[in-house]
Structure 1
Amino acid sequence: MASYSTVETSKQVLLTAFEHELPVLPEVRANIGCVELTTDSSEPLIPIVLKAHESFAALKALEGIIAVTLAKKRFGEDKDIKAIVNCNHAALFPAMSFLSTVDGLPKWDPGMKHKIKDTDFNQVYSNVYRRMLTNIYRTKDGHFYHLHAGLDATPTLRELGLPPYDQNRNEKSTAQQAIEAITQQLTSDEIDSVIRGIKQAGSPCLTREEFLASSHGKHISTRPLFELSQLESTSPALKLSPEGPNILSGVKVLDLTRVIAGPVITRTLAEYGAQVIRVTSQNLPDQSYYAVDFNFGKRTINLDLKSPGGRDAFEKLLDEVDVIVDGYRPGAIARLGYGPDDLLKRFAGARGVVYVKETCYGEGGEWSDRPGWQQIADSVSGVSWANGQAMGLEEPVAPPFPLADFGTGELGCIATLNALHHRITKGGSYYTNVSLVKYNDWLMSLGPYPKELWQTMAKAHGFDGSAQLNHLSNFDEVGLAAITSIHRLHPHLEGDPELMQEAESTPFGVVRTQNPVVRIEPYKTAKNGWLNVTRPAGYDAPTGW
């Protein structure tokens, strides 16, 4: 479809983002002309009927606009600063973990387990039977439900009447058959009641129309892409040295996150020179592989916030913190005594802080207290149904790549940059929040590709039914099919030095990872060297900033 342009559509999507009542200061809107979108191909890269390609190009452009605004605020309004975003690079941002390698090995290679620290304490990823809990399954009433293992599959398996471990079913098809045999004995509502009762993650697979008809869908669809509220107005404005050298040099960020969306926020802040410390606990499970990409630019420490020693070390970090990014279940950090209200009492207006909250369902709606993951957001918002129907199926199918995770991570970075802009301009403390479901709601609102364009894309990628994907195809299977077809159709991208870089001396080995998407010269230098090389969780001693 020769008339289609990813650049022009991305520009239109960027404008729609501003129409969603973004809580930005006038200077941000004034700098919309400071971003340049480029591409070497007018064809969308991601094999999904929704405009994911353009959504990431637009969000990276918005990131660039706010970063330019901060750069001018810090280094001088007379500076001629421009942000450049390659739309293809932006589109491959959510495929980061499918593109990166360690010593030449991709994440699905069996040899990878020898290169990363094992934090899969509950065998959610290493045990096929337990891993297959995270999937879409048919229900008794002809609907579909997305179960999720979280970081421990045992509670859900037990409640469904299945054994926590089953070595006789440690193969994909036999594990899925055992689980679907149970789900087909229950209605979707009955499964949902079970999942809610044990406070685990799961969701019925809704169409877009069903989501918008729900009370939560009605709430989320009226909210901006990210929200901002001022917690107090008496603390002084944040002062950053004009010496830099980078846009966020000197900004101190505590990363209290796991898995994907939250760590994406802080990795991107680290691209701008922020001083990031990722705090994890050696007692809590995580997905080890994602540390390879997401710990670039960070120091990583282990602290037990339920122990006196851990709390003491953490509170010393709080004395100088500028930003806290919280990606845990709603209320978890507050119950430890470190929520936004606790920090306000602690600082008493003497210093400001930005508190960033990342959740699945967002805040203020009926489902806001529910735990969730990217796949759950895809199912509840209608993305999985849209993907399956576009393949010619009458069943939901997981989308390629963790689009909602990376979309929310990107929104979290944008929201943080925006809150820092408020702190620098007006002083005070700010609370900002982003959610997986809101990103998906926005993506769905952009509409599908024109029919002719999608038919061409689907056939080229093999996503027209020939790939034999269906509701049982899990996250990795769909993602691997997508990245394989992208490599086949666009082989030049793999060797593009603008897209990827290598870090030769890391604790993992030689790591190949994505370069920062947004280019702002000369104030963004992560492409040439991060503050810290990537490392496993808990790699550094908790010695303060």
Structure 2
Amino acid sequence: MALYSTIEASKKVLLSTFDKDLPVLPEIWELVDSVEFSTDSAEPLIPIVLKAHESFAALKGLEGIIAVALCKKRFGEDTKVKALVNCNHAALFPAMSFLSTVDGIPKWGSEMKNKIMDTDLNHVYSNIYRRMLTNIYRTKDGGFYHLHASLDATPTLKALGLPPYDEGKNEKKVAQRAIEASTQRYTSEDLDKMIRDIKQAGSPCLTRAEFLASSHGKHISSRPLFELSQLESTSPTLKLSLEGPNILSGIKILDLSRVIAGPVISRTLAEYVDFNFGKRTIDLDLKSSEGRQAFEKLLEDVDVIVDGYRPGAIAKLGYGPDELLKRFSGKRGFVYVKESCYGDGGEWSDRPGWQQIADSVTGVSWANGQALGLEEPVAPPFPLADFGAGELGCIATLNALHHRLTKGGSYYTSVSLVKYNDWLMSLGSYPEEIWRRMASAHGLEHSQKLSRQSNFDDVGLAAIASINRLHPHLWKDPDFMQVATNTPFGTVKTQSPIVKIVPFKTASNGWLNVTRPAGYDSLVDWV
């Protein structure tokens, strides 16, 4: 039986990132030995043929290396410090939304709707018929197309000639049959044009080869894991606060994002700032004078802006990187972080997209389906691209701050879901013997339970169930999970920080600001 080591495989993946024109200063490469990997399981946890497990362990390792560099900048270059990463803990990172609970209730629990604010204003999640729009469907030419309900299913349903609501189709399979009856009237190309014309998200399910043959695939595959450009070089070097226990104490991050990838960036950065995964949260209307005034007050002291909206949306409101460059000219430096589905540049950069769309367009869904023995694409377990892009965004931000500490100036850095998937695919699949063992252990070898009709939650819940069955101790490990009591939600259990910086801690014990609902805070001011 062939031996496999996730530690050795993760080290190789980490080293390979430096061969991809990674835009880091030379001293980052020199610190590559400052990260130490550990694990209690030699084989991967995530039930997918692609090396997702190793990709997250490697990215957490890269995060740790840059955190060590920042630590040395703050506490002295002679400081003896290292980063510790448990590979299993890192592999559970993209499963965070499935692992987190409120008063013991998981996200799919029926009582959860009483615990959190209802943001499903257009009934995308509460209405089964509208929810099933987000799925993979056959097309007239024998292809497959991934539709997405986005935040409002109505535009796409209407374009397909379907009613916005149909209470008679409140079962998954019934709703899927109705939608597929419509998609099969169109070729993949015609369907894609229709979706583009109404400015909604969707994509043909491409193979890896088809993606790489496209103009956008060629562009993305030629780019580094994250982009970095210097906006100006006259601002003085960043000075870190001498107070506070955290590596980046005093750094102020303004998060303009929603739905997984963007929030993951700032949540992870908070481990080095406040250790509050909830952050302070306010609602502002940037089209109103009152909202703009409040927002501009925050901008006065900001160090990092995270933009997770559709490309160009924030710039149209007057707060894009070029506009901020003029605003801050001669006053201060800053870092602007852009997270998107398709990335900067390339033919498809302005298209809207989500996790499932990135999976479909890059070949991840096809790779997953074929590994399951099917001749159809299947959504992967967990929001890998969302968390992958989010982690890349955290790394890119830490790297840009390292540039500010070293060279001064202001920086623009960007990450994308499609780039994470492109990189994941480039790592290749597991050896056949390893995958056979994994598939058998997870009950996938001869199972037809998963198919293209299995939506995001179906696949994720199946993976959680099998990981829990095979590794029940992970859920109970106090180093992996952390509890916050007396929050506005109730008692929240979620994943603890993965990268451990020793002998320093990434943060103090506990949260300065416990997690809180969207729009919870009323004061527009920094902590």
Q: TM-score, normalised by structure 1?
A: 0.95
Instruction: Report whether the alignment pairs 1:353 with 2:327.
Output: no
Instruction: Report whether the alignment pairs 1:17 with 2:6.
Output: no
CA distance in structure 1 between the aligned counterparts of 2:440 and 2:182, rounded to whole angstroms: 35
Deviations 1:19-64 (A, max 9, x none): 1110000111111111000001101000000000000000000000
- Which stretch shows the higher mean deviation, 167-176 or 58-67? 167-176
Where does residue 397 of structure 1 map in the other structure? 378
- What is the Cα deviation at residue 521 of structure 1? 3.0
Where does residue 422 of structure 1 map in the other structure? 403
Closer, same or farther: CA 473–102 of 1 in aligned 2, 3 Å: same
- What is the Cα deviation at residue 544 of structure 1? 1.2
CA distance in structure 2 between the aligned counterparts of 1:508 and 1:245, rounded to whole angstroms: 27
Instruction: Report whether the alignment pairs 1:162 with 2:143.
Output: no
CA distance in structure 2 between the aligned counterparts of 1:68 and 1:244, rounded to whole angstroms: 17
CA distance in structure 2 between the aligned counterparts of 1:467 and 1:479, rounded to whole angstroms: 16
Superposition RMSD in Å: 1.1
Given residue 67 of structure 2, which amino acid in structure 1 is its aligned partner?
A
Is contact 1:14-1:61 (8 Å) kept? Answer: yes
Where does residue 312 of structure 1 map in the other structure? 293
CA distance in structure 1 between the aligned counterparts of 2:126 and 2:508, rounded to whole angstroms: 33
How many residues of Structure 1 are paired with residues of Structure 2 in the alignment?
Answer: 526
Where does residue 250 of structure 1 map in the other structure? 250
- What is the Cα deviation at residue 236 of structure 1? 1.2
SS of equivalent residue, structure 2 residue 199? coil
Where does residue 64 of structure 2 map in the other structure? 64
Deviations 1:366-420 (A, max 9, x none): 0001000010000000000000000000000000000000000000000000000
- What is the Cα deviation at residue 525 of structure 1? 4.5
How is 1:314-463 mapped onto 2 (pairs within 5 angstroms)? 314-463=295-444
Where does residue 296 of structure 1 map in the other structure? 277
CA distance in structure 1 between the aligned counterparts of 2:305 and 2:444, rounded to whole angstroms: 40
Is contact 2:82-2:503 (8 Å) kept? Answer: no
Given residue 531 of structure 1, which amino acid in structure 2 is its aligned partner?
L
Is contact 1:516-1:526 (8 Å) kept? Answer: no
Given residue 470 of structure 2, which amino acid in structure 1 is its aligned partner?
L
Deviations 1:307-331 (A, max 9, x none): 0000000000001000000000000
CA distance in structure 1 between the aligned counterparts of 2:233 and 2:30, rounded to whole angstroms: 25
SS of equivalent residue, structure 2 residue 331? coil
CA distance in structure 2 between the aligned counterparts of 1:246 and 1:522, rounded to whole angstroms: 12
SS of equivalent residue, structure 2 residue 325? helix
Deviations 1:490-534 (A, max 9, x none): 111111111101111111111110000000135435472122100
CA distance in structure 1 between the aligned counterparts of 2:131 and 2:378, rounded to whole angstroms: 17
CA distance in structure 2 between the aligned counterparts of 1:153 and 1:349, rounded to whole angstroms: 46
Where does residue 184 of structure 1 map in the other structure? 184
SS of equivalent residue, structure 2 residue 228? strand
Deviations 1:222-265 (A, max 9, x none): 10000100000111111113444211110000000001000000
Tell me the percent identity: 77
- What is the Cα deviation at residue 3 of structure 1? 1.4
Deviations 1:123-179 (A, max 9, x none): 111111111110000111110000001111111111111111111112211111110
Is contact 1:516-1:527 (8 Å) kept? Answer: no
SS of equivalent residue, structure 2 residue 281? strand
Closer, same or farther: CA 114–297 of 1 in aligned 2, 3 Å: closer
Instruction: Report whether the alignment pairs 1:129 with 2:107.
Output: no
CA distance in structure 2 between the aligned counterparts of 1:349 and 1:419, rounded to whole angstroms: 19
Deviations 1:305-360 (A, max 9, x none): 01000000000000100000000000000000000010011011320010000000
CA distance in structure 2 between the aligned counterparts of 1:121 and 1:261, rounded to whole angstroms: 21
Is contact 1:46-1:53 (8 Å) kept? Answer: yes
Instruction: Report whether the alignment pairs 1:138 with 2:135.
Output: no
- What is the Cα deviation at residue 464 of structure 1? 2.2
Closer, same or farther: CA 505–425 of 1 in aligned 2, 3 Å: same
- What is the Cα deviation at residue 297 of structure 1? 4.5
Given residue 393 of structure 1, which amino acid in structure 2 is its aligned partner?
L
SS of equivalent residue, structure 1 residue 302? coil
Q: TM-score, normalised by structure 2?
A: 0.98
- Which stretch shows the higher mean deviation, 255-264 or 535-544? 535-544
Given residue 134 of structure 1, which amino acid in structure 2 is its aligned partner?
T
Is contact 1:236-1:350 (8 Å) kept? Answer: no
Where does residue 470 of structure 1 map in the other structure? 451
CA distance in structure 2 between the aligned counterparts of 1:69 and 1:525, rounded to whole angstroms: 13
Is contact 1:204-1:380 (8 Å) kept? Answer: yes
CA distance in structure 2 between the aligned counterparts of 1:506 and 1:495, rounded to whole angstroms: 21
CA distance in structure 2 between the aligned counterparts of 1:452 and 1:166, rounded to whole angstroms: 47
Where does residue 505 of structure 2 map in the other structure? 524
Is contact 1:302-1:542 (8 Å) kept? Answer: no
Deviations 1:460-489 (A, max 9, x none): 101224151100100000000000000001
CA distance in structure 2 between the aligned counterparts of 1:477 and 1:263, rounded to whole angstroms: 23
SS of equivalent residue, structure 1 residue 486? helix
SS of equivalent residue, structure 2 residue 85? strand
Deviations 1:79-127 (A, max 9, x none): 1111000000000000001111111111111011000011111111111
Given residue 446 of structure 1, which amino acid in structure 2 is its aligned partner?
L
Given residue 522 of structure 2, which amino acid in structure 1 is its aligned partner?
A
SS of equivalent residue, structure 1 residue 528? coil
Where does residue 539 of structure 1 map in the other structure? 520
Is contact 2:135-2:453 (8 Å) kept? Answer: yes
Is contact 1:225-1:434 (8 Å) kept? Answer: yes
Gaps of 5+ in 2: none
CA distance in structure 2 between the aligned counterparts of 1:154 and 1:206, rounded to whole angstroms: 25
Is contact 2:36-2:82 (8 Å) kept? Answer: yes
- What is the Cα deviation at residue 541 of structure 1? 1.2
CA distance in structure 2 between the aligned counterparts of 1:502 and 1:442, rounded to whole angstroms: 33
Where does residue 112 of structure 2 map in the other structure? 112
Is contact 2:245-2:507 (8 Å) kept? Answer: no
Where does residue 513 of structure 1 map in the other structure? 494
CA distance in structure 1 between the aligned counterparts of 2:102 and 2:244, rounded to whole angstroms: 32
SS of equivalent residue, structure 2 residue 269? helix
Closer, same or farther: CA 33–498 of 1 in aligned 2, 3 Å: same
How is 1:230-241 mapped onto 2 (pairs within 5 angstroms)? 230-241=230-241
Is contact 1:251-1:274 (8 Å) kept? Answer: no
Where does residue 91 of structure 1 map in the other structure? 91
SS of equivalent residue, structure 2 residue 478? coil
Is contact 1:358-1:434 (8 Å) kept? Answer: yes
CA distance in structure 2 between the aligned counterparts of 1:242 and 1:121, rounded to whole angstroms: 45
CA distance in structure 2 between the aligned counterparts of 1:305 and 1:10, rounded to whole angstroms: 43
SS of equivalent residue, structure 1 residue 434? strand
CA distance in structure 1 between the aligned counterparts of 2:236 and 2:29, rounded to whole angstroms: 25
Is contact 1:273-1:524 (8 Å) kept? Answer: no
- What is the Cα deviation at residue 274 of structure 1? 4.9
SS of equivalent residue, structure 1 residue 238? coil
Give every structure 1 segment of 4 or more consecutive aligned residues whose post-TM-superposition deviation is greater than 2 Å. 241-244, 521-528
SS of equivalent residue, structure 2 residue 203? strand
